[in-house]
Structure 1
Amino acid sequence: MKNFATPPTHRRLADHSADLRMLMLAAAAVIVGTGSAMGAWLLLRAIAIATNLFWFGRFSAGPSEISDNGLGLWLVAIPIIGSLIVGLMARYGSDKIRGHGIPEAIEAILYGESRLSPKVALLKPLSSAISIGSGGPFGAEGPIIMTGGAIGSLFAQQFDLSAAERKTLLVAGAAAGMTAIFGTPVAALLLAIEVLLFEWKPRSFVPVVVATLSAFLWRPLLIDSGPLFPVMHHALLGPATIAIALAMGALAGCQASLLSILLYRVEDMFGRLPLHWMWWPAIGAVAVGIGGLIDAHVLGAGYESIRALLDGSMALRVALILLVVKAAVWLIALGSGTSGGVLAPLLMLGGALGFVIGHFLPGGSALWALVGMAGTMSGAMRAPLTAALFAAELTGDFAMLPLTIAGSVGAYAVSVLLIRRSILTEKIARRGRHVLQEYSVDPLDFLLAGQVMSPDPETLPGGLSLAEAINFFATAKHRSYPVVDAEGRLIGLVSRSDALRWQMEDNAPLKASLAEVLSDVSLPVATPQKPVSQIADMMVDSGIGRIPVVDPATSRLVGILSRQDLLKVRHVHRASEWKRR
């Protein structure tokens, strides 16, 4: 018998090759991170140019606030014009630019082998700049995540890489883009882990870190240094404050769940319109324009409004308007299928909720605006660690981490109870694709063959003739049996299909023994110390559903591991999670 189990030398070579590929991806991540930082700079410049063109009629990349415009009632026309342009770009360019970007990145990772097109890399930031610049109530994070991901994917497609390696560079570009926009490297890493990577492995984590750090180092040169909203809050962190933060998080979780439900109700309403989807953004923009007439602060990304919420300078009346009007125009605009992000609106709406309620709580309204931001982002995106760190990094106020974590977890718990999916994965589910955001350890990875195998299996003696084996399989219980010699050492494996083949062959040596026939046959075998996951791979590679388990010192057969045994492992693992005794 020939054993084709992977020798130790080959395993070492495979591990060495994996290490080299991780280093190669890390080197590529420097380029991807730099490209994403440049993309973020271009996106912000494009938004500034679009804002100046649409609202002030000047070609400039200088800072400007939409609320300073003097258009009066003509204000309503600007979002409509911008949305018409975006609709045309989506129809005649690429429909992948519609929506907020992150679901499309997830879908490309899970179902598209991490391949994004050059059209997306070009049109997504351009359409988002037009959408936001013309008053669309969105942020730049979704577009830059999609754009950074496209940069990573396009770079990876220039080389002979696997789908997993393309995914690593796609996610590296997405995390780097988010870091460049917001200056939040740790939150970007956690977003990659909680939302995009769907794994925790060195081969992906190390390159994503490298890309993120590269973008973080470029940020002071291209965009700005320091936190985006530098604010320091002062609060006594005690049991009462933590309890209030949990309660605030629970309210934010209810808000996030309601926003997610309403968003897809609005999307369904647009889907029933007897018009091509190209026109939907313009129809949604009518609501945006009306919202702008009520209060111009609801237009655009609204970073100044977020800053006012966090430093406590916003008037309560304006916060209440944001809480209602901003939510309405954002839901209608995003549901219409225009191009824009969800993160900044979620921050603003969660911040407005915390700001309003904070007027009746100790610590000040600005402190609870911070907690509300973390909570609403966590509840909507199902990314509690990302939300908690994101709020702290945005302000540089890491002393408030216990409160943002409490708010995030409170919102996450409520959101999980109220809605089945996050605001990101619901969109993918509506396309018939199921996405599970819960991570767990595969039980096959930490169990060994000796723990799962069926010991002392039924065997056939090596001296049995082929004719006797054919008669045996006429009434045999199993499809295959190990063949052993007089000392119990494994010779090979014989199956019912072998017996049928011998029976059909005219020249089959029916008097020959099984030991003689199997002497040159290769067979996958395992040892009691081999991980069950590797044995499952053996079954797939060889097509053999029963793998013999032998003592490595004596080659004596000690057990057998079948497909049924693997299914039992899964059943026992699930029972251990749910069965109570």
Structure 2
Amino acid sequence: MQASLPRRDFSGDLRLLRIAALAAVIGAFSTLAARVLLLLIRFFTDLFFYGRFSLAELSPADNRLGAWVILVPAIGGLLIGLIARFGTEQIRGHGIPEAIEAILFKNSAMSPKVALLKPLASGIAIGSGGPFGAEGPIIMTSGAIGSLVAQHVRLTGGERKTLLVAGAVAGMMNAPVMAAVFAFEVTHDGNALLPLLAACAGAYGFTVLSMGRSILTEKIARRGRHIYREYGIDPLERHAVAEVMTTDVEWVDADATAAQVLASHFGPGQRHRAFPVLRDGLVAGMVDRGSLEHALARLAPDARIRDLVGLNPPLVALPGETCRAVAARLAVHKLERLPVVADPTAPRLLGLVSRSDLIQATAGLHAEEHERTALRGARARGRA
């Protein structure tokens, strides 16, 4: 563990450049995948409606199949059903809910089959006259490419999520600005830009107020998975350990015996569940009732605390760390409290941070979001 670094507005480091470079590579492959999908649409359009192998850009409306044309979408649907049955069922639908589900619930992992079979099935569906667009399939395919690249590099789960989104983000829906830009790109009408922005913002606001789910998340919700889409800052990220830690700390001397500490710190007047152990003025670890009782059962009654805390460097918190980082450390190691030190190489005790201390960071957010007060006027003066 490194000593505390100066606090910053953002947490980016040199790994951000690596992720950006990988995202650029994924973007290039995604562009190629989009091109391949468009060529597949042309190929299957020419094959289904004109009976020839070609990549020429022809309209299905000019076919000469007559009444037989009604069978073309049915044949396309049958082929897609076979691909879904014997390939992967993730190709069903337009693909956006599947991409969202992979990001939130599957550690951003998608199957290579999706990257191969989704554009094929989409080319058949659109080329056979199905009422579909290319945006959703491109999102799914590009997201799968981002996921496949991320799975072959040593990355965190959050970094894999970033790369999956990097592949899929160009076509994500339910984004007012993207919708306005997309419509402007199609119409090339500068006079329509302001009405487009107003209409998209109004439509988005109406859906937020009136719809519990969107068309993208409803499919996932029916599978029993809840998605919460409010944007907010984790209050634990806004506060440092030094702001919430306890400085008046009761500690245990490493030279004391286990029997003495069990009687003095864990008797009827016990105040805390665990206490930091100091050896030569430095933090050596933490001790609780369970470890003491276990030690007395297997060691001599005069066994000393220094024999119980082990030889490995103790887990500690730094005063400049965020409460979120420490909360994650407590959860990973299944602990309830950590000693706070200024330097882990010379761990002199500064305080103690516990789960209950971390909860304090949310108190200010609760007051800010839920407590209603009038700062001016008769109501405020009367309350004062």
Same fold (TM over 0.5): yes
Q: Are 2:329 and 1:526 aligned?
A: no
Amino acid at match of 1:544: L
Q: Which of 103, 114, 130 is the matching residue for 1:109?
A: 103
Q: Which has the higher helix share?
A: 1
Q: 1:37 aligned to 2:37?
A: no
Provide the secondary structure at the position in 1 that maps to 2:352. Answer: strand
1:209-260 deviation line (CA, Å, top 9, x unaligned): xxxxxxxxxxxxxxxxxxxxxxxxxxxxxxxxxxxxxxxxxxxxxxxxxxxx
Q: Once the 2 structures are TM-superposed, how far is the Cα of residue 132 of structure 1 from its aligned partner?
A: 1.1
Q: Equivalent of 2:330, from 534, 539, 553?
A: 539
Q: 1:136: which partner in 2?
A: 130
AA paired with 2:81?
A: G
Residue in structure 1 matched with residue 17 of structure 2 by the alignment: 23
Q: Would you say 1:548 and 2:342 are equivalent positions?
A: no
Aligned equivalents of 1:549, 1:32: Cα separation in 2: 42
Residue type at the aligned position of 1:434: H
Residue matched to 2:149 = 155
> 1:101: how far off?
0.9
Deviations 1:80-132 (A, max 9, x none): 12211211221122211110111112222222333333322222111111111
TM-score normalised by length of structure 1: 0.56
Cα distance, 1:560–1:398 mapped onto 2, change above 3 Å: farther
Q: How far is 1:400 from its partner? A: 4.7
* Cα distance, 1:562–1:59 mapped onto 2, change above 3 Å: same
Summarize the Cα distance change of 1:391–1:546 in structure 2 as closer, same or farther, 3 Å threshold.
same
1:459 Cα deviation from its structure 2 partner: 4.0
Q: Distance in 1 between matches of 2:312 and 2:294?
A: 15
User: Are 2:4 and 2:319, in contact at CA under 8 Å, matched by a contact in 1?
Assistant: no
Q: Partners of 1:129 and 1:7 in 2: how far apart?
A: 55
Please report how far the alpha carbon of residue 465 of structure 1 lies from its aligned counterpart in structure 2 after TM superposition.
4.1
After superposition, the Cα gap between the structure-2 partners of 1:77 and 1:519, relative to the gap in structure 1 and judged at 3 Å, is closer
| Cα distance in 1, alignment partners of residues 36 and 147 from structure 2 | 19
- How far, CA to CA, are the matches of 1:149 and 1:39 in structure 2? 11
Rounded Cα–Cα distance in structure 2 between residues aligned with 1:485 and 1:407:
68
Q: What corresponds to 1:480 in structure 2?
A: 274
Q: Describe the shift of the 1:575–1:434 C-alpha distance in structure 2 as closer, same or farther (beyond 3 A).
A: farther
1:454 aligned to 246, 267, 281, which one? 246
Q: 1:398 to 1:564 in 2, by over 3 A?
A: farther
Q: Give the letter aligned to residue 328 of structure 2.
A: D
Contact kept? 1:108, 1:115, Cα under 8 Å: yes
* Identity %, equivalent residues: 45
User: Map of 1:81-92 to 2, 5 A cutoff?
Assistant: 81-92=75-86
The residue that corresponds to 2:369 in the other structure is 577
Count matched residues.
Answer: 365
Q: Structure 2: state its 5+ residue gaps.
A: 6-10, 374-384
| SS class of match (2:109) | coil
Q: Measure the CA separation in 2 of the matches of 1:571 and 1:558.
A: 24
Structure 1 residue aligned with 2:295: 502
Q: Is the 8 A contact 1:492 1:521 kept in 2?
A: no
1:28/1:546 Cα in 2 relative to 1: closer, same or farther (>3 Å)? closer
The aligned counterpart of 1:253 is: none
Relative contact order, higher structure (CA 8 A, sep 6+): 1
Given the alignment of the two structures, is residue 410 of structure 1 paired with residue 184 of structure 2, yes or no? no
Find the residue that maps to 1:172 and give its secondary structure: helix
Secondary structure of 2:286's aligned partner: strand
2:355 is the alignment partner of 1:563: yes
Alignment partner, residue 167 of structure 1: 161
Q: 1:570 and 1:53, CA in 2 relative to 1: closer, same or farther beyond 3 A?
A: same
Question: Is 2:231 the counterpart of 1:439?
Answer: yes
2:157 and 2:284 map into 1 onto residues whose CA distance is 39
Q: Is the counterpart of residue 6 in structure 1 residue 6 in structure 2?
A: no
Separation in 2, partners of 1:112, 1:70: 47
CA offsets per residue over residues 12-45 of structure 1, 9 Å max, x none? xxx99x62x4434444444433322222222112
Instruction: Measure, in 2, the Cα distance between the counterparts of 1:424 and 1:108.
Output: 13
Compared CA separation, residues 108 and 556, structure 1 to 2 (3 A): closer
CA distance in 1, matches of 2:297, 2:68: 87
Judge which range, 26-35 or 527-536, deviates more: 26-35
CA distance in 2, matches of 1:527, 1:116: 38
- Once the two structures are superposed, the pairs formed by residues 252-267 of structure 1 within 5 Å of their partners are none
Change (3 A) 1:156 1:485: closer
Determine the C-alpha separation between the residues in 2 that align with 1:125 and 1:529. Answer: 49
Partner in structure 1 of residue 382 of structure 2? none
Shift of residue 408 of structure 1? 1.9
Query: Matched residues in 2 for 1:57 and 1:78: separation?
Result: 11
Pick the aligned partner of 1:63 from 57, 60, 65: 57
Distance 1:132 1:90 in 2: 16
Q: Secondary structure at the match of 1:482?
A: strand
- Whether 1:125 and 2:119 are equivalent positions in the alignment is yes
CA distance in 2, matches of 1:428, 1:480: 43
Query: Is residue 2:214 matched to residue 1:422?
Result: yes
CA contact (8 A) 1:470 1:503 kept: no
Displacement, 1:396? 4.4
1:199 paired residue number: none
In structure 1, C-alpha distance between the alignment counterparts of 2:90 and 2:310, rounded to whole Å = 58
Distance 1:402 1:484, change over 3 A: farther
Deviation at 1:491, TM superposition (A): 6.2
Change (3 A) 1:537 1:119: closer
CA distance in 2, matches of 1:516, 1:98: 61
Aligned counterpart, 2:381 = none
Q: Return 497-506 or 570-579, whichever deviates more.
A: 570-579
User: Could you list the runs of 5+ residues in structure 1 that have no partner in the other structure?
Assistant: 10-14, 176-187, 196-380
Amino acid at match of 1:479: R
Q: Deviations over 1:464-515 (max 9, x none)?
A: 54322111313213211235699x97665332123212331342435x5x57
Specify whether residues 169 and 490 from structure 1 end up closer, same or farther in structure 2 by C-alpha distance, changes over 3 A only. Answer: closer
Code of the aligned partner of 2:145: I
2:3–2:318 contact (8 Å) kept in structure 1: no
Superposed, 1:315-464 pairs within 5 Å as 381-397=173-189, 400-460=192-252, 464=256
- What is the one-letter code of the residue matched to 1:382? N
The aligned runs of 1:268-347 (5 Å cut-off) are none
The CA RMSD over aligned residues, in Å, is 3.4
Deviation at 1:59, TM superposition (A): 3.4
Q: Distance in 1 between matches of 2:151 and 2:321?
A: 36
In structure 2, what is the Cα distance between the partners aligned to 1:163 and 1:394? 36
